[in-house]
């Protein structure tokens, strides 16, 4: 069987069943790493390893578009904000960047920019050998947004999940490199400046020396130190930390203030912000690649960490037209540096059990310094990866690290004693509850069959239930959930709402006041929106987007539960209704219906219904834009713009673009040689627009 470099089956060799299973595994694994990185500032894998997971996911989705999951990593950025700070909704999403890992991928990216446009004059402006592009070192810190009104700083926020971040205003006000009032003139009345909060090497070393002297744990690297320092609940602590800020972008602006990125950076500098002095305007891809090589050579001498170079199309008019795809802009890409490597000993392989019962092997390593960072753990992913590496306890292993996180194992060195060491035997029983573990055909992971009787799964499900974007119960952290479970205070989500202050106040670390606060916080969540409730249940493939889609369609908990319970057969009307929802594929539908087919899940729902008031879905007010909330299908060949540009424009105006015509379609835009979609639109009485009609509507 053909293998990818990482030891996995090559994407072009995957069967449909294997691809389906692999997308399911990748969605769960990437979601876990997003939470570790963005919420906990405690990543477990190297940047290069994480990027490889996302790239493999994207490659499989490109080959099997019908298998794209509702909880696909390609549909989300980062992770929900952690508790402890107020939520801030970004006026414009703070999206992530796609990555290029080598020079060929950079060239392909700029070819895709050229191919996005149709008119000859546009294509000429974006030819890869002449396109104007800003190249900026990719600072390894924490993304931050600063909102100014009439020149005064009024809000500072972290990126969070790209849509909602944390309010850290009081903390960012302590940074000397962030102006409290804008200098100069010409700034918009409202401007949201975006950039990176980071810590330079000398300041990081001094901070760790102080922590060591005070007996406190050391920060692993400057990025974690910067993130931990910014997220202090006491701003006085942040003020003592040597944090700095580079501005490199903007979000909301009440008026346009520049025609290009290079102009915008000049304005930001004039208004009092530090910008990276190494940023450079380049013309053509070869100049970009030369800049990347130069920065790689200078990297070790810089006073701060960088892990690559970001390329941004300089012309802002072109940026607007290129737009975005799900989680990333089409007009920018990050060209990462190669991973760094080292050797160490694999001491022990242990098994962790996740919320869905996945058994994940983790390697405990002899601590080793890689690129200035001490690492001691790495994930081994699954049984196949261990077999591919032939990794055994006691082996010397080669690890690689890119960025600031725990590395991946890329090789086990076969020394003279290797064959004498016993091979790792992957357990066929759950190490937590001793239930049988199974590995379904086409899947890489072993899963515990214990379900809710497995403490690891039950605890993880309750942790999810009370998490930020679910019930969001303040003061009920992971540690408390585990302790309450172990001491039999809770066994199911409904037990949370039956807790009494008297059961908690005498426990170690608790008192009358803290116990009362927790009970009040739980009581405050007894009234919950339908979409949050659905998300909180932790149904496989049912993330926030899918939960909102289900809530919007079924409107009430009673109707949704009845329909899901009835959807037992693919011939049932209830199944067809669910499966035909745009954004719900057959695989997702099967997971949702499967959840309702389990008797113990129905019992949990009965108990929760007795304890809670689940609010019906309230549709938002219609947007002012004529296309907001509309569903559009494009068919035929468009003359003035490419199909990609037309779709991007529609999505930017709040519309949903689909590939098939149904009774829920609002407009069908018809170009030359439209085919059967135009005929179906006429049969259904759906409004048909010519390309000229569409362009007029899109221009407002």
% of the chain residues with pLDDT over 70: 91
**Domain annotation for the chain: domains and CATH numbers:** 11-76+339-420 (2.40.50.140), 87-336 (3.30.470.30), 451-525 (1.10.150.20), 528-615 (1.10.150.20), 631-698 (3.40.50.10190)
User: What confidence category does residue 629 fall into, taking pLDDT thresholds of 50, 70 and 90?
Assistant: low
Written as six digits, the tokens of 490 are 């809770």
Kindly state the average pLDDT of the residues 49-73: 81
User: What confidence category does residue 621 fall into, taking pLDDT thresholds of 50, 70 and 90?
Assistant: very low
Q: What is the pLDDT of residues 512-570, one digit of tens each?
A: 999 999 999 999 999 999 999 999 998 888 888 788 888 877 889 999 999 999 988 77
Kindly state the average pLDDT of the residues 397-421: 82
Show the beta-strand stretches assigned E in 82-189: 87-89, 99-100, 132-139, 142-149, 152-158, 164-166
Catalytic residue among 138, 280, 336, 677: 138
- Mean per-residue pLDDT over the chain, rounded: 86
Q: What is the pLDDT of residues 140-162, one digit of tens each?
A: 899 999 999 999 999 999 998 78
Q: What is the pTM of this model?
A: 0.56
Active site residue 138: yes
% of the chain residues with pLDDT over 90: 44
CA distance 565 to 584: 17
- Report the Cα 366 to chain-centroid distance in Å: 31
What backbone phi and psi angles, to 5 degrees, belong to 559? -70, -40
Is pLDDT at 19 greater than 90 in this prediction? Answer: no
* Helical spans, DSSP H, in 242-300: 261-270, 285-298
User: What confidence category does residue 393 fall into, taking pLDDT thresholds of 50, 70 and 90?
Assistant: very high
User: How many Å is the maximal CA-CA distance in the chain?
Assistant: 78
CA distance 587 to 442: 14
- Report the pLDDT value the prediction gives residue 82, as an integer from 0 to 100: 46
Is pLDDT at 380 greater than 60 in this prediction? Answer: yes
Kindly state the average pLDDT of the residues 179-197: 95
CA distance 259 to 276: 20
CA distance 158 to 145: 6
Q: What is the pLDDT of residues 482-492, one digit of tens each?
A: 899 889 999 88
CA–CA distances in Å: residue 141 to residues 35, 176, 632: 16, 17, 40
Is pLDDT at 620 greater than 60 in this prediction? Answer: no
Output 407 or 556, whichever has higher pLDDT: 556
Residue entry with tokens 């037990």: 495
């Amino acid at each position: 069987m053909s293998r990818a470099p990482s030891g996995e089956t090559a994407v072009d060799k995957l069967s449909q069943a294997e691809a389906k299973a692999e997308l399911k595994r990748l969605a769960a694994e990437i979601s876990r790493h997003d939470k570790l990185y963005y919420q906990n500032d405690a990543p477990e894998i190297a940047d290069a390893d994480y990027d490889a997971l996302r790239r493999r996911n994207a490659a499989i989705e490109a080959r099997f578009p019908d298998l794209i999951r509702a909880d696909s990593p390609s549909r989300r950025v980062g992770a929900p904000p952690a508790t402890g700070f107020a939520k801030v909704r970004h006026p414009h999403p703070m999206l992530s960047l796609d990555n290029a890992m080598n020079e060929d991928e950079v060239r392909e990216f700029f070819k895709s920019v050229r191919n996005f446009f149709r008119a000859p004059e546009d294509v000429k402006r974006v030819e890869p050998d002449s396109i104007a592009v800003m190249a900026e070192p990719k600072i390894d810190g924490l993304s931050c947004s600063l909102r100014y009104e009439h020149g005064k700083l009024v809000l500072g926020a972290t990126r969070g999940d790209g849509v909602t971040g944390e309010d850290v205003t009081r903390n960012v006000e302590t940074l000397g490199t962030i102006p409290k009032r804008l200098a100069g003139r010409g700034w918009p009345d409202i401007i949201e400046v975006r950039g990176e909060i980071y810590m330079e090497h000398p300041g990081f070393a001094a901070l760790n020396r102080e922590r060591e002297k005070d007996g406190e744990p050391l920060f692993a690297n400057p990025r974690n130190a910067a993130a931990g320092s910014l997220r202090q609940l006491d701003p006085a602590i942040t003020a003592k930390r040597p944090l700095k800020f580079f501005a490199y972008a903007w979000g909301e602006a009440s008026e346009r203030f520049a025609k290009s990125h290079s102009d915008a950076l000049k304005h930001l500098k004039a208004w009092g912000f530090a910008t990276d002095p190494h940023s450079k305007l380049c013309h053509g891809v070869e100049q970009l690649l030369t800049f990347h090589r130069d920065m790689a050579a200078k990297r070790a001498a810089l006073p701060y960490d960088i892990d690559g170079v970001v390329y941004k199309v300089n012309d802002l008019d072109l940026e607007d037209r290129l737009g975005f795809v799900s989680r990333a802009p089409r007009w920018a890409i990050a060209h990462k540096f190669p991973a760094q490597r080292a050797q160490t000993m694999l001491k022990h392989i242990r098994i962790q059990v996740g919320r869905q019962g996945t058994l994940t092997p983790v390697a405990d390593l002899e601590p080793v310094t890689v690129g200035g960072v001490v690492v001691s753990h790495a994930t081994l992913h699954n049984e196949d990866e261990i077999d591919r590496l032939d990794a055994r306890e006691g082996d010397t292993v080669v690890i690689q690290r890119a960025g600031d996180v725990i590395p991946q194992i890329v090789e086990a060195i076969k020394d003279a004693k290797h064959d004498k060491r016993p091979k790792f035997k992957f357990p066929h029983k759950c190490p937590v509850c001793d239930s049988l573990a199974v590995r379904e055909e086409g899947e890489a992971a072993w899963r515990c069959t214990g379900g809710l009787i497995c403490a690891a799964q039950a605890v993880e499900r309750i942790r999810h239930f009370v998490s930020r974007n679910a019930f969001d119960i303040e003061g009920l952290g992971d540690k408390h959930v585990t302790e309450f479970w172990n001491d039999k205070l809770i066994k199911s989500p409904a037990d949370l709402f039956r807790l009494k202050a008297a059961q908690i106040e005498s426990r170690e670390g608790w008192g009358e006041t803290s116990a009362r606060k927790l009970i009040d916080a739980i009581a405050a969540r007894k009234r919950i929106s339908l979409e949050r409730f659905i998300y909180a249940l932790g149904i496989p493939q049912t993330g926030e987007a899918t939960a909102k889609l289900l809530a919007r369609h079924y409107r009430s908990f009673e109707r949704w539960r009845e329909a899901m319970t009835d959807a037992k057969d693919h011939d049932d009307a209830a199944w067809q209704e669910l499966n035909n929802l745009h954004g719900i594929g057959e695989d997702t539908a099967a997971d949702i219906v499967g959840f309702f087919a389990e008797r113990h899940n129905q019992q949990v729902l009965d108990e929760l219904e007795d304890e809670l008031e689940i609010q019906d879905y309230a549709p938002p007010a219609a947007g002012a834009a004529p296309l907001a909330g509309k569903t559009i299908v494009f068919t035929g060949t468009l003359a003035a713009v490419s199909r990609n540009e037309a779709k991007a424009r529609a999505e930017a105006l709040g519309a949903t673009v689909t590939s098939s015509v149904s009774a829920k379609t609002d407009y069908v835009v018809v170009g030359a040689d439209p085919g059967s979609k135009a005929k179906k639109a006429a049969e259904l009485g759906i409004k048909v627009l010519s390309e000229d009609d569409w362009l007029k509507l899109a221009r407002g």
